[in-house]
Structure 1
Amino acid sequence: MSRYLVDKFLYTIDRDPGLVERYREDPGGTVEWWEREQAGRILNCPVDEATTWLAFTDEERAALAAHDHVALFGLGAHPFLTLTLWIAMFERDFPEPLGMQRDYAARLSHLGLPYPDIST
């Protein structure tokens, strides 16, 4: 597993409003495109580099494609990265103030200490 690659995905998608919308509307396609076209370029790797840390695991790919922040947290994705991206993608779907943030926290409320390791 490459927590760094997952975190890099979340970070780069969140920094581009067009990619935020693309990921919101077509999560599986966006994950596939980013992994194929962007992962090596963003990480400044040679074109023919093909190590496992340049690819998501099946579990990471599935969690990213499902917008599953609970699974991503369990895999070690940094919660601040998922939270900021989820705000950009989903806050508009909640009419009440902080509704998305409350939903995000409620879905993680079953977790207790020690939390998964989020270091990269």
Structure 2
Amino acid sequence: MSKYLLNKFLYTVDRDPSLVERYRSDAAGTVSWWEQEMANQLLNCAVAEKSTWLEFTDEERRALREHDHVALFGLGAHPFLTLTLFIAMFERDHGPLEYQKAYGRALQHHALPYPDIAT
């Protein structure tokens, strides 16, 4: 499991409006494409350097494909990254703050200590 890779996915997708829309409409395709093409590129690096070993686990892939922010939180994805990306994708389908409140309610069953979100 790589919390770094989960957070890198959430971070990079959230910063590109076309990727946000692509992930909203075709999560499985976006996750597969991103894992093949983007996962091993160095983050914020101007040089075309790549690593070769990073990949999602089956559990991470499933959670990303299903937009399952509760499972992602349990896997160690940073809650601010999931919240900002999921707001960009789903807030438009809800009233003011309705999505954010539902997001919080879905995570209510977690008690301290929360899953480790350090990368």
Q: Equivalent residue for 2:52?
A: 50
- Within 2, Cα distance between the matches of 1:79 and 1:22? 21
Structure 1: gaps of 5 or more residues:
none
Q: Equivalent residue for 2:108?
A: 109
Q: Equivalent residue for 2:99?
A: 100
Give the counterpart letter for 1:111 in structure 2: H
Q: Equivalent residue for 1:7?
A: 7
- Within 2, Cα distance between the matches of 1:4 and 1:50? 15
Q: Secondary structure at the match of 2:77?
A: coil
After superposition, where does 1:1-120 map in structure 2 within 5 Å?
1-43=1-43, 46=49, 49-51=51-53, 54-94=54-94, 96-120=95-119
- Within 1, Cα distance between the matches of 2:71 and 2:41? 26
Give the counterpart letter for 1:97 in structure 2: P
Aligned pairs, how many?
Answer: 116
Quote the offset at 1:97 in angstroms.
1.3
- Within 2, Cα distance between the matches of 1:12 and 1:46? 17
- Within 1, Cα distance between the matches of 2:72 and 2:49? 28
Structure 2: gaps of 5 or more residues:
none
- Within 2, Cα distance between the matches of 1:108 and 1:60? 17
Per-residue displacement from partner, 1:22-68 (whole Å, max 9, x unpaired)?
00000010000000011112446855x432xx100000000000000
CA contact (8 A) 2:42 2:49 kept: no
Give the superposed CA RMSD: 1.4
* TM-score under structure 2 length normalisation: 0.92
Give the counterpart letter for 2:21 in structure 1: E
Q: Secondary structure at the match of 1:88?
A: helix
Structure 1 segments, 4+ long, off by >3 Å, are 42-47
